[in-house]
Structure 1
């Protein structure tokens, strides 16, 4: 009969054998990486929960190369070839259910639909609302909220000018929430025919506040999925009040969808393309609600992240900011001249946004896919079937082997370049902030239109200056699936007031 001590040794022996197998005998043993990460998933989970995962991956890639083993069954890629190897339209790499599957009893959404055929049906129904033609009809809705952003900032600058009696130039403003107010209001109007009224009230809607407060919790849920027994226990321990909060969070979006579907008169928003003749929906209502729940975040938070990061780099590089300001103010005579068509081809504005997307990718790391049957060669390394594989934009875009002065904000690298330029060998095609293939971001045209309009109108109307004692270091921001939100404090002054 086995003693208690003997029974205690069995799980310890099993763990030790698993560590030995994972480190030296696993099919991924040939892939370089730290032994501690290869032996067990615990270092990966620790990085995920701390929010340092993109920085830890960057450090590992600098040491071990473009293909690194980051867990017993997972590999990280920091190489431009990874885009075509994993994400191209002909790629059979399916999403990893550990990360992507819907909660039990919840309908599929555009994001969570793992089956390619199911995803294609949802995407086909949504796509008419995201075309360049649809965007042209939606421009008045975008302009409405960009203009409201400008108005709200003018109010704050003018109030400060009165309070200081003209002794101070401008006012200190935290721009981080203002970009979020604008992008969430725009998507609210485009998605549901009603904004979140963030700009109207100059504060976050409760739904958005709950979203940001729940991001860290989502990392814990994702980590628990690697251990099914722990996940089951965690789900049972969720307090009833929190369960109700989650349900109410979803219900608010479902209610917005329902109100929009009840309209008799239509406007050219995204939802209008999902309502067929006789009011018939192009998607089941459950999938529609789940998809718009995801799109509200994906279509708002990511664009705000890039705008925040780009303005941060601009105010910390005043010579680059001056070039962009000159381009905008020399092109337009008045703010009403700034339209989507008018800003589309401003070369330095486009270069600035591209550089912002490179250094502040809205999705710093791509969640894993699964290597299909028979295994595949990715970035010149063979990986066996079932391997979790992810691409790391943050590491790739800051790789000194791919970009000259890789961590420096230099928009000129995106302008036409001669062979003598130090940026001639930059791997610009490796920058794919909206992903590739059938799962690429549908909102790319809307995002570009928002970023161009917002930056152009802000720089036409205001001067922005860095507050050195309150500088935001983008490299220090943590990632909890979404990029951490910290204040971007800048000094804002009205161009009109200075001219007067």
Structure 2
């Protein structure tokens, strides 16, 4: 599945400079005029080599750069010699929804890396049959029944969050990125390991650096993964290794517990029809920690930013929440699920600020498939770029404006009647979509309701730079979001 020149440095290193130049001349002519993807628009240099993509990714600018390319070139563009980026709902359904033959995940350094741990693949990278087995094994943990039984976890930490904010808000502006991160990490740690992480209490968490992800991509793509210790920055690798060791220790302690309290792991261990090995459980818990905390914290941060940048929207949401609940104890998952404007705010936040802003590409299977009316050869990497899909005018009217009302019932003559809401899939689509989607929505509704019921919030910096200057490394590398907080009168 690798591109024809991916490992060219191995083939030509013993050749003369003339031969190298001749190779690149031939490759350039072929790539721009004869390659099966030569008709697709996009930056010419990116069509010749993967290096511009790698360099831009290492700098943290890949999501914004590809969004700019889509604005310049259109709904589908060529972003590498063997990769296409899409922004349409039809492409998303084809790439991520087709089951047979499946578009397999591109695990050669473009998406999630590394693909396995000690030779074992987790649910994120497993092949089709194994993925189905792993999904069946953990499905009970994400059922509606499980969510109801686990609500106390979410309520406990939402309460701790508001208590801490009440304590510290008088001391000055607070970084809500940190507070949301502490909260979501505490929740998933308690759910996964039955062991509180204590982030809200201590003001510290063991996250590694987001930049590590793109260094992993770089080394995997060029076959240098075993040399990563000599290539990637040491402090990033040390933070990543510390986080891996911490997760391993926690899962070992959790497996020794025999209490009856229901948590994420108890549903999996009670599922006798799909037994998982200890290593599979460790990998599964690791995926749950990342997906259940980092992404939720990012989404909550983005929604809070956009809300406070749009006072009429903020006031309407606050009015809805405070009218619905007479006291904070009335705020429940079921009750917040009935708040239509809160739901619209969340959808709009996910559209403009998807937790994973870039695409997670797949390989076209077999000899090829038709995508958006054009034949794409087998082996080509394809994906829907989430940040671009949500911010393009061909998908949404006033695409770059935060307008939650677009998600509510609209009449046929509404300016938003032609919005293609399915073009944005922040939880992916098809048989490999995020199994924790319902849990994530419930968590976000509950936390936002608690925050905006109890506090009045105001941005310290009212410019858009918090959003527009962010770096991305598969996920957002969020700078501090400083907010003035005061308890409601």
TM-score (norm 2): 0.92
The question of whether the paired residues in 2 share the 8 Å contact of 1:93 and 1:372 is answered with yes
Q: Which runs of 5+ in 2 are unaligned?
A: 1-12
CA shift, 1:280, in A, is 10
Q: CA offsets, 1:403-456, max 9 Å, x none?
A: 111000011101110112111111112222111111100111111111111111
**Alignment match, 2:363:** 370
| 1:61 aligns with one of 53, 70, 75 | 70
| 2:122 aligns with one of 87, 109, 121 | 109
CA shift, 1:470, in A, is 6.9
Assess, with a 3 A threshold, how the Cα gap between structure 1 residues 472 and 153 changes in structure 2: closer, same or farther: farther
Distance in 2, matches of 1:408 and 1:238, equals: 38
Q: Secondary structure at the match of 2:211?
A: helix
Assess, with a 3 A threshold, how the Cα gap between structure 1 residues 231 and 411 changes in structure 2: closer, same or farther: same
Q: Which moved more, 1:104-113 or 1:430-439?
A: 104-113
Distance in 1, matches of 2:293 and 2:132, equals: 23
Q: Which runs of 5+ in 1 are unaligned?
A: 161-170
The answer to whether 1:350 aligns with 2:343 is: yes
Q: How many residues align?
A: 473
The question of whether the paired residues in 2 share the 8 Å contact of 1:365 and 1:390 is answered with no
Map 1:75-224 onto structure 2 (within 5 A): 75-90=84-99, 92-99=102-109, 100=112, 101-103=114-116, 105-113=118-126, 115-157=127-169, 159-160=170-171, 171-201=172-202, 203-205=203-205, 207-208=206-207, 211=208, 213=209, 215-224=210-219
| 2:266 aligns with one of 262, 266, 272 | 272
| 1:29 aligns with one of 38, 60, 63 | 38
CA shift, 1:469, in A, is 5.9
CA shift, 1:248, in A, is 4.1
TM-score (norm 1): 0.90
Q: CA offsets, 1:250-276, max 9 Å, x none?
A: 221121111111112122211001213
Assess, with a 3 A threshold, how the Cα gap between structure 1 residues 402 and 191 changes in structure 2: closer, same or farther: same
Distance in 2, matches of 1:52 and 1:343, equals: 36
Q: Secondary structure at the match of 2:262?
A: coil
The answer to whether 1:393 aligns with 2:394 is: no
**Alignment match, 1:257:** 251
Q: Which moved more, 1:181-190 or 1:86-95?
A: 86-95
CA shift, 1:366, in A, is 2.2
**Superposed CA RMSD:** 2.3
CA shift, 1:297, in A, is 0.9
Max Rg structure? 1
Distance in 1, matches of 2:177 and 2:443, equals: 15
The question of whether the paired residues in 2 share the 8 Å contact of 1:338 and 1:457 is answered with yes
| 2:454 aligns with one of 438, 461, 466 | 461
